[in-house]
Amino acid sequence: MVLSSTNSASSNSPMLSMSGQGVVKGITIGKAVVMGASTLEVPHYYVPIKDVNNECDRLLTAIEKASSELLSIIDMLPGDSPLELAPVLDVHRLLLQDPLLIDGSCELIRHHRYNAEWALATQGQALIEQFTSLSDEYMRERGGDIRQVIERVLAVLSGTADDLLANFSTHPDDQPRIVVARDIAPADMLRLRDGRFSAFLTDLGGPTSHTAIVARSMNVPAVVGLGSLRNLVRDGDTLVVDGETGAVFVNPTIQILQQYELLQKQYLQERETLALLVGAKAETLDGINVQLEANIELPEEADKALSSGAQGIGLFRTEFLFMGKKSLPSEEEQYLAYSSVVRTMAGKPVTIRTLDIGSDKTLDNESTVATNPALGLRAVRYCLDQPELFLTQLKAILRASAFGHIKVLIPMITSMQEVHAVFEAVSHAREALLISHPEIKPDFSVGAMVETPAMAIAVEPFAKALDFLSIGTNDLIQYTLAVDRTDPEVSSLYDPTHPSVLRLISNVINVGDRFGIPVSMCGEMAGEAQLTRLLLGLGLKSFSMHYQQILDVKKQVINSHSTELRYALASTLNHASRVDASVLNIHTK
Ligand code: PEP
Ligand code: MG
């Protein structure tokens, strides 16, 4: 979105300010490197009838070439590549084998005599539109993957596959370079990851787009969803990027430049000071010990969690072992994944969440779409409906528990019947293990996520029956406020500081205290440093978040007096319609 334009400091062009979605924090000031037009505009002509088979072959050869290029990129992925990259590139290879794309395009060539580029772009556009019309944000963004895959084949067809980086040598000065693109395919992202670029800006994409995911793992500031930036920026323009707020300034005025130079300096100093906290104890000014753990999605992330000072894994989202696969992972595969995390964490607790599939995360072989997936057969409901799948996962987790400290976490519980059914499934897994691996003595605790108002309001029986609770605020907020967490059209209503949400959280923590069971929080709210004091004031003593957020939260913990915060909140929580931000010195909406 273009917000405004004024006179710029560095060129004759007026300053433009744009706003997108900041997905990786950090400030970069540098020169624009505009990536080649990424478009499905292609030559259109009719192929003589006698040549249609050859034209089909031309398309199939290009698809095969694009696919083997991707395969060699995957094979040569350097060891320090972002973890998400290989699976994403695999998905792109699978898309290249999709019969809807291939057969549909060949049909257009054979029956309508379209040239290969025209056929592929037409068929691809239809598929993209199908995806982009879906209400689920994650699925909408997959339309972007299809576009990227098609562009790759089109580049092979036109012989321009290697032009992507052609203009990247146009700035010999040592100013940071900022990639401006319509969208960046994961394979191209790999070519951009060698440290030459200090920020990424794209017109398309949202927080779960691959540009965002890969930029996050590279820790390079990024803003996505900028709309039409690419058309408004020229190669070499000066850019200011704020990866936190999503603000982008093109050819900034001298005032903006100076303001952001100062902010950048402050930000870098802050990061340096924060790095000193890695080994520090997370203890409040009044001596309360706070547990700071990490959320991970892949086993390989455990290392990073550990070196960021995580005291354990508070949430291992195991569904990422299941998604994007043709078949379900075997017990052995799962056992290897879980035990590798447990070994890496060397005695620190590892909380493994059982499969949370459904809603915004689906398995490849699931073809049915629920009327309302967020309220459908998801998470524990799905696992109890698929006892074999659940048994396999539980057995793998129990086997891994022999190597360290495992906590089994059950998502989306709403009733005690479900808890009893889970206990039964766990005993089956235990019995099965006695037969298959009698030498293993599993040792683990069982807890549940508090993600539904049903559980948060009447939490006592759950606190009595389970070993621990972990508040999943992402879903708890979604279900309390009736706001789809992935729908950008209602995102302004998604408010973690809504009084109803805070009272539910407070209730769960108080009941946990009363029953003497640990209560943790593993939703996004736990990693938002501006909310740490609020959560300490509610009595929370265990937080789990993305490992990159741990030090920011630790800084807040170290500088807070939890008893004072508890007093400040107790007097307002049950009376005020909003928590008074000045009381806690926090920023509420
Ligand atoms: C949550 O709901 O807060 C949570 C951590 O689970 P997920 O985001 O994986 O649904
Ligand atoms: Mg959840």
**Cα of 337 from ligand 2 centre, angstroms:** 21
Token pair for 41: 């505009």
188 within ligand 1 shell (Cβ under 6 A):
no
451 within ligand 1 shell (Cβ under 6 A):
yes
The residue-averaged pLDDT of 446-463 equals 97
Whether 111 and 92 have beta carbons less than 8 Å apart is answered as: no
Residue 391 has a pLDDT of 97
The residue-averaged pLDDT of 364-390 equals 81
Note the pTM of the prediction, 2 decimals: 0.69
- By most ligand atoms within 8 Å of CB, the mutation choice from 485, 522, 542, 543 for ligand 1 is 522
319 within ligand 1 shell (Cβ under 6 A):
no
Q: What is the pLDDT of residues 488-534, one digit of tens each?
A: 577 778 889 999 999 999 999 999 999 999 999 999 899 989 999 99
CA-CA distances (angstroms) from residue 286 to 88, 363, 564? 46, 47, 9
Q: How many CB atoms lie within 10 A of CB 348?
A: 17
CATH number corresponding to 49-158: 1.10.274.10
- 473 Cα nearest atom in ligand 1: 3
Residue 142, burial from CB neighbour count under 10 angstroms (0-12, 13-18, 19+): buried
Whether 321 and 300 have beta carbons less than 8 Å apart is answered as: no
Q: What three-state secondary structure class fits 532?
A: helix
Alpha-carbon distance 232 to 514, whole Å? 59
DSSP 201: E
Whether 282 and 559 have beta carbons less than 8 Å apart is answered as: no
Whether 567 and 539 have beta carbons less than 8 Å apart is answered as: no
Residue 366 has a pLDDT of 55
- By most ligand atoms within 8 Å of CB, the mutation choice from 316, 354, 356 for ligand 1 is 356
Is residue 4 scored above 70 in pLDDT?
A: no
Q: Which fold has domain 276-577?
A: TIM Barrel (3.20.20)
Residue 491, burial from CB neighbour count under 10 angstroms (0-12, 13-18, 19+): middle
Q: What is the pLDDT of residues 75-99, one digit of tens each?
A: 777 666 666 677 778 888 888 888 8
Q: What is the pLDDT of residues 308-350, one digit of tens each?
A: 999 999 999 998 788 766 789 999 999 999 999 999 999 999 9
Domain with CATH 3.50.30.10 in the chain: 2-35+164-273
Domain spanning 2-35+164-273: CATH 3.40.50.300? no
Q: What is the pLDDT of residues 411-453, one digit of tens each?
A: 999 999 999 999 999 999 999 999 999 988 888 999 999 999 9
Domain with CATH 1.10.274.10 in the chain: 49-158
List the one residue out of 569, 471, 563 whose CA is nearest residue 517.
Answer: 471
Alpha-carbon distance 96 to 103, whole Å? 11
For 179-183, 364-368, 452-456, which range has the lowest pLDDT when averaged over its residues? Answer: 364-368
Determine which one of 56, 106, 383, 522 is catalytic. Answer: 522
Is residue 163 scored above 70 in pLDDT?
A: no
Q: How many CB atoms lie within 10 A of CB 55?
A: 21
**Cα of 380 from ligand 1 centre, angstroms:** 13
DSSP 354: P
Domain with CATH 3.20.20.60 in the chain: 276-577
Q: Per residue in 378-404, is it b (16+ CB within 10 Å) or e — as a string? A: bbbbbbbebeebbbbbbbbbbbbbbbb
